[in-house]
Chains A and B, each alone.
Chain A
Amino acid sequence: QSVLTQPPSVSGAPGQRVTISCSGSSSNIGAGYDLHWYQQFPGRAPKLLIYANTNRPSGVPDRFSASKSGTSASLAITGLQAEDEADYYCHSYDSSLRGSVFGGGTRLTVL
């Protein structure tokens, strides 16, 4: 059981908007620690998608956005494309564990 909770799967048709939630607690997201998102394709290493809650690294399309509120966060993908089909992970620091915690991952399927 992951410290951060994500839905196992989400899906959407090309062009649609999907969101992926990430729920934490008062020792991680709720404590104000930054929340990050990673994209992972099969057989590949995770790639940083969003850092420090809302920021996109250079090269990440602005179709990807994220927000954080209280003990939860969410990733939104607009104008869904077939190439977005991947696994998505949220990540934060946890003060109780004194280290990194990841969500269980969400598989995005583009219908």
Chain B
Amino acid sequence: QLQLQESGPGLVKPSETLSLICTVTDDSLSNTNYYWGWIRQPPGKGLEWIGSLYYRGSAYYNPSLKSRVTISGDASKSQFSLKLTSVTAADTAVYYCARHLVRGWVFDYWGQGTLVTASS
């Protein structure tokens, strides 16, 4: 059964870099049918796509975050990561990693999510 698990610090200071890792069980980042993505949800608000990684290393980012985001992967470890620079309180959210189909972009498997708070 495919599982995704986010890990990383739950607290980040303003102006610093948020770093999270998603560990994938029972699938490979090299699976050509899927992207591996990050989505976030501020407390009490809706979902926002951050970006997605394809197995060849190509990444696609939300234009509103593109200047601050990097998503990369390590297929040998079945992990992909998110780095978001220069965080502010507005970046406080639950961060989810998820798998989505290349065709249709449907997110079929999600991690449980991890809350990251940007605060001093």
Contacts and interface: CB of A to CB of B under 8 A. Distances in A.
Instruction: Report if A and B associate in a common complex.
Output: yes
Interface of A: 2, 33-34, 36, 38, 44-48, 51-52, 57, 89, 91-93, 97-105
Contact of A100 (B49, B96, B113): B49
Contacts, number: 68
Contacts of A101: 49
A99 B106 contact: no
Nearest to A52: B104
10 contacts: A34-B106, A36-B104, A45-B112, A46-B107, A57-B108, A91-B105, A97-B63, A100-B39, A100-B52, A105-B46
Given A45-B96, A97-B62, A102 B48 contact: yes
Contacts of A44: 112
Main secondary structure of the interface of B (DSSP, over half): strand
A30 B111 CA distance: 30
Contacts of A34: 104-106
B47 interface: yes
Chain B interface extent, by class: 20 to 34
B63 A51 contact: no
A73 B11 CA distance: 38
A44 B41 CA distance: 11
A89 B47 contact: yes
B110 interface: yes
Contacts of A105: 46-47
A92 B111 CA distance: 20
